[in-house]
Amino acid sequence: MVACGLACWRCRWLLPLLLGLAIIMGIIALAGRGWLESESEPYVQQASLWESCTRGEEDLNWSCESLMDYGWGRAAAATYLVGFVILVICFALAVIAFSIEILRFNFVRGIGGLLFVVAAFQIIGLVIYPVKFTEEIPLMGDNMFSWAYGFGWASTVVVIGCAFFFCCLPNWEDEVLGNIKPTYYYSSPERAPYLN
């Protein structure tokens, strides 16, 4: 019988896998043009982390301006990008930590601490962007923060969850390494007469 409990060696790769998922969502957020979009037709405005684009109702071509001309645009992009780079470093460290035969649990806790730093940087970038964007960029029509912005938040939520797990994982060192014998509980004395 094969069971994958906490002591299962294959299950140790779930945390690096989740970090890889957060990296993919971060790439989508960094590259996506859907941070802000028009909510309904006519679609006259869209923005990414890097630029804001508008067009007339009958015009087919987008007119874009760089958000890097604004201090807040550079700050939002820099903080999110720094968080993303540290996330990639944490992913590499997690793969190394889970590849060695004997886990270095203090090393794993350090990765958890770095992931909290990643979350802080990403949250700062994700908060600066909508606040300053709506203050300083003239909005046309009804707009919404859209899918790419949502991927940025999804990446951040996964990072926060992984940070807690990485920090708490050393508390269950023996269970993860399989050093504890399983405990069996019996429901009736007939099934375990030797306990009487």
pLDDT the model gives residue 4? 43
Q: Of 113, 109, 122, 116, which is closest to residue 156 (Cα–Cα)?
A: 122
The pTM score is 0.80
DSSP character at residue 7: T
pLDDT the model gives residue 151? 94
Per-residue pLDDT of the chain (196 residues), as tens digits, is: 344 444 455 667 888 899 999 999 999 999 988 888 887 777 788 888 899 888 877 777 888 888 899 999 999 999 999 999 999 999 999 888 877 766 666 688 889 999 999 999 999 999 999 999 888 888 877 888 888 999 999 999 999 999 998 888 766 665 555 556 666 665 665 665 555 5
Token readout for 188 is 């009736």
Contact 23, 159 (CB under 8 A): no
In order of 67, 71, 117, 149, the CA distances from 45 in angstroms are: 14, 21, 33, 15
pLDDT the model gives residue 61? 84
pLDDT the model gives residue 105? 65
